[in-house]
Amino acid sequence: MFPSHEAGGAGPGDAHFVVLPDCEGAATAARFFLRPESRVLAHPSGRPWLIGRWSDQEIVTARAGRAAIALVGCCPVDQSELDRQASRLRDLTALDAQARSLPGSFHLVASLDGQVRVQGTASGLRLVFHAPVDGVHVAATSADVLAAAIGTGPDEEQLAVRLLWPVPYPLFERSLWRGVTAVAPEEALIVASDGRTVRRSRWWAPPEPTRSLADGAPLVRQALAEAVGVRTKEGGVVSCDLSGGLDSTSICFLAATSPARVVASTWPGRDPADSDLYWAEQAAGFLPGIEHVVWDADESPLVYTDLLTIDDLLDEPTIGVMDRARVLHHLPEMARRGSRLHLTGMGGDHVAWCSEAYYHRMVRTRPLLALRQLRGFKTLFHWPLGATVRVLADSRPYDRWLASCERQLRDPMSATVSGALGWGTSPRLFDWVTPEAAHTVVGALREAAARAEPLHPDRGMHADMEQIRICTRIVRQWDRMAARAGVPMASPFFDDRVIEACLAVDPAERVTPWAYKPLLTAAMRGVVPDVCLARSNKAQASMDASNGLREHRGDLMKLWEDSHLARLGLVDGDALRSLAQRPSTPGLRDAILYSTIACEVWLRNLPR
């Protein structure tokens, strides 16, 4: 059920497990998950509680009488404090405060009088699923593990939904397996002592964005420094991305102040206009204690590389397969240089920056400020005046906006400003998606819209949280791939405490047309040299994507020659093969193939 990976084994970063309630029926359910290589933690009663795979470095446990607590992942909790927490535990909801205070990224599991509580992270980087196994509700960190236990396969309706580009909330949070239910990141799952009933308990909500930049920046710096610190305090060798962008540069400078020895890794862009290497070398010049490795740009895998050979065990499709080769290519060399962990700057774009959609509300509550800023955005992003006015005047609630999306599924992509200032980018189905699949998607959209509530009433906060969760679902799969490759990855920007510190800052100061990532720049002042904070753009890697389409069109042809999606009646294989022969088709520049490729690659790997 938890197969050993050839390269990574059960090292740090590859923890996966199921959680069982403390009841007689759970012993029978446990047999579906026990393997010779499984690790087992017991309830205070002695019955199995956690079954799966994890390393000693990523688990902390405490027991006291009828209570037990386990933290699995990256969490620097003090053992004595966790022991005290277990001894005082009288109600599982009392753990909310602890879950909202600890740094790091981890699953929290607790047992009390036979009940269990299981939760992941508010970011969505660590998820929880559950399903009834032989009559007993079992929770798990991976959906496919539960599906295998109950003998079900992929849900074809949910698979059709994943062909949307993009997939809107809440549809992207649904499980891809029949009979397996996903738990929302902001909720904890509580399974009763009889194992037959479950309930949800909300433990997290985003902060109100009321702090000024001046007040918020030190708290962001503190949270990010702590997120890096908990991963580097044990010393050894850690590697870091150093792209030259503000996000990775910040992580690298924070890591360089730790007890760990840092190996910084830079992939120069193939595009002559790409300035990443210049900025990375600027940063490295201020860090004489680090080892700086600069790779040959021509050796960097292109987008779409090795799609036919991907064999990772994934519990859902991910567009991360497009960049898998690029993300993992340097990790074996980092392992040879002694790295025990690879730190990335992923997430900085999603938390230090924020959505312009906040201005939809601000134009009503702070009109003078909002209109001045919006004029700047209009010029910066070339927003058409008419489309800008229309989206600002559109005050439909989220459920009505989501319901309207079904009427636009086959339309051309909407104007950029609609996604920037509205509830999100209206999803599309492309020409190769069959009418039968489209009919299924329309039904799913209608069902979701009938009861949909946004992640937050303010469409700016909703957009921020949605983008964070979309990205963490990709990073979640990359993390598993990296652990298998031999060096686990970590993305400190996606720690809940860092996200909260960023979201608490006034969006009018966090996203502005007059400055690039002003919050991160202010937070890192004094940590990162001013010359490195002066960068006001980032590389787009568009040449890597367009070249990848041309160089790997043969692989795309093979992908569609015996398409699993086509056999299911979800796509027109002939249309996709024809498109693969025309890699310069203008629409392909907008990544419109990504969701379809993600689903096809996932289906190809299911037999394993």
Residue 607 maps to a domain: no
DSSP state of 531: H
Of 340-344, 414-418, 604-608, which gets the smallest average pLDDT?
A: 604-608
Co-location of 54 and 182 in the same domain: yes
Co-location of 129 and 53 in the same domain: yes
Co-location of 188 and 227 in the same domain: no
Co-location of 149 and 24 in the same domain: yes
Percent of the chain's residues with pLDDT above 90: 81
**Interatomic CA distance for residues 595 and 598, integer angstroms:** 5
Residue type, position 51, single letter: I
For position 275, which CATH number holds?
3.40.50.620
- Contacts for 349 with CB less than 8 Å, ≥ 6 apart: 247, 538
User: What are 285's two structure tokens?
Assistant: 């010049």
Q: Which one has a higher pLDDT value, 353 or 377? A: 377
**Span 519-556, pLDDT tens digits:** 999 999 999 999 999 987 766 555 667 787 888 888 99
> Confidence class of residue 411 from pLDDT cuts 50, 70 and 90?
very high
Co-location of 140 and 235 in the same domain: no
With b meaning 16 or more CB within 10 Å and e meaning fewer, what string describes 571-608? Answer: bbbebbbebbeebeeeebeeebbbbbbbbbbbbbeeee
Q: Quick one: which H or E segment has residue 187?
A: strand 187-191
pLDDT at 188: 98
> Confidence class of residue 161 from pLDDT cuts 50, 70 and 90?
very high
Co-location of 142 and 236 in the same domain: no
Sheet holding 67-74, edge to edge: 59-64, 67-74, 105-112, 115-119, 187-191, 198-202
**CB atoms near residue 113 (< 10 Å):** 14
For position 138, which CATH number holds?
3.60.20.10
CA dihedral 124, 606, 410, 391 (to 10 degrees): 10
pLDDT at 608: 60
Q: Kindly give the pairing relationship between strand 105-112 and strand 261-266.
A: unpaired
225: helix, coil or strand? helix
> Confidence class of residue 7 from pLDDT cuts 50, 70 and 90?
very low
**Span 76-127, pLDDT tens digits:** 888 899 999 999 999 999 999 999 999 999 999 999 998 999 999 999 999 9
**Span 552-576, pLDDT tens digits:** 888 999 999 989 999 999 999 999 9
Residue 480 maps to a domain: yes
pLDDT of residue 273 exceeding 70? no
CB 150 within 8 A of CB 133: yes
pLDDT at 3: 37
Cross-strand bridge partners of residue 189: 118, 200
Percent of the chain's residues with pLDDT above 70: 96
Q: Quick one: which H or E segment has residue 61?
A: strand 59-64
Co-location of 312 and 222 in the same domain: yes
Co-location of 198 and 278 in the same domain: no
Residue that finishes a domain, picked among 508, 542, 576:
542
With b meaning 16 or more CB within 10 Å and e meaning fewer, what string describes 373-404? Answer: bbeebbeeeebeeebbeebbeeeeebbebbbe
**Interatomic CA distance for residues 599 and 432, integer angstroms:** 14
Co-location of 151 and 227 in the same domain: no
pLDDT of residue 333 exceeding 50? yes
Residue 28 maps to a domain: yes
559: helix, coil or strand? helix
**Span 450-474, pLDDT tens digits:** 999 999 999 999 999 999 999 999 9
pTM as predicted: 0.95
User: What are 527's two structure tokens?
Assistant: 């940590």
What is the largest distance, in Å, between two alpha-carbon atoms of the chain?
67
Residue 72 maps to a domain: yes
**CB atoms near residue 442 (< 10 Å):** 16
User: What are 538's two structure tokens?
Assistant: 């980032």
Residue 604 maps to a domain: no
User: What are 16's two structure tokens?
Assistant: 């996966």
**Span 53-73, pLDDT tens digits:** 999 989 999 999 999 999 999
Domain count, the chain: 2
- Asked if the peptide bond before residue 166 counts as cis, ω within 30 degrees of 0, the response is yes
Axis-axis angle for helices 358-365, 385-393 (nearest 10): 80
Q: Average of pLDDT values for 247-273?
A: 91
**Interatomic CA distance for residues 357 and 362, integer angstroms:** 9
CB 215 within 8 A of CB 226: no
pLDDT of residue 434 exceeding 90? yes
**Interatomic CA distance for residues 441 and 429, integer angstroms:** 9
Co-location of 38 and 84 in the same domain: yes
User: What are 12's two structure tokens?
Assistant: 């740090």
Q: Where are the alpha helices (DSSP H) in 320-397?
A: 324-328, 331-336, 348-351, 358-365, 367-381, 385-393
**Span 571-600, pLDDT tens digits:** 999 999 998 888 777 667 778 899 999 999
Summary mean pLDDT of the chain = 92
Task: Of 258, 251, 255, 254, give the one whose Cα is nearest residue 233.
Answer: 258
DSSP state of 107: E
pLDDT of residue 197 exceeding 50? yes
CB 212 within 8 A of CB 509: yes
Co-location of 39 and 81 in the same domain: yes
Cross-strand bridge partners of residue 52: 17, 39
**CB atoms near residue 92 (< 10 Å):** 18
Residue that finishes a domain, picked among 542, 564, 588:
542
Co-location of 191 and 217 in the same domain: no
Handedness of CA 58, 129, 603, 580 (dihedral sign): negative
**Interatomic CA distance for residues 490 and 443, integer angstroms:** 38
Q: Average of pLDDT values for 309-320?
A: 93
pLDDT of residue 9 exceeding 50? no
**CB atoms near residue 327 (< 10 Å):** 22
Q: Find the length of the chain.
A: 608
Task: Of 11, 44, 48, give the one whose Cα is nearest residue 33.
Answer: 48
Residue 533 maps to a domain: yes
Of 149-153, 200-204, 298-302, which gets the smallest average pLDDT?
A: 298-302
pLDDT at 588: 73
Residue 37 maps to a domain: yes
Residue 93 maps to a domain: yes
pLDDT of residue 394 exceeding 50? yes
> Confidence class of residue 12 from pLDDT cuts 50, 70 and 90?
low
pLDDT of residue 8 exceeding 60? no
CB 132 within 8 A of CB 546: no
Residue that finishes a domain, picked among 511, 542, 573:
542
32: helix, coil or strand? coil
Task: Of 76, 128, 117, give the one whose Cα is nearest residue 93.
Answer: 117
Q: What is the domain extent for residue 320?
A: 213-352+471-542
Quickly tell me which residue has 């699995």 as its tokens: 72
Sheet holding 39-42, edge to edge: 39-42, 48-53, 16-19, 136-140, 128-133, 181-183
Of 4-18, 34-48, 188-202, 346-360, which gets the smallest average pLDDT?
A: 4-18
CA distances from 144 to 43, 176, 197, 389 (A): 24, 9, 21, 45
User: What are 236's two structure tokens?
Assistant: 């050894």
Task: Of 3, 133, 116, give the one whose Cα is nearest residue 50.
Answer: 116
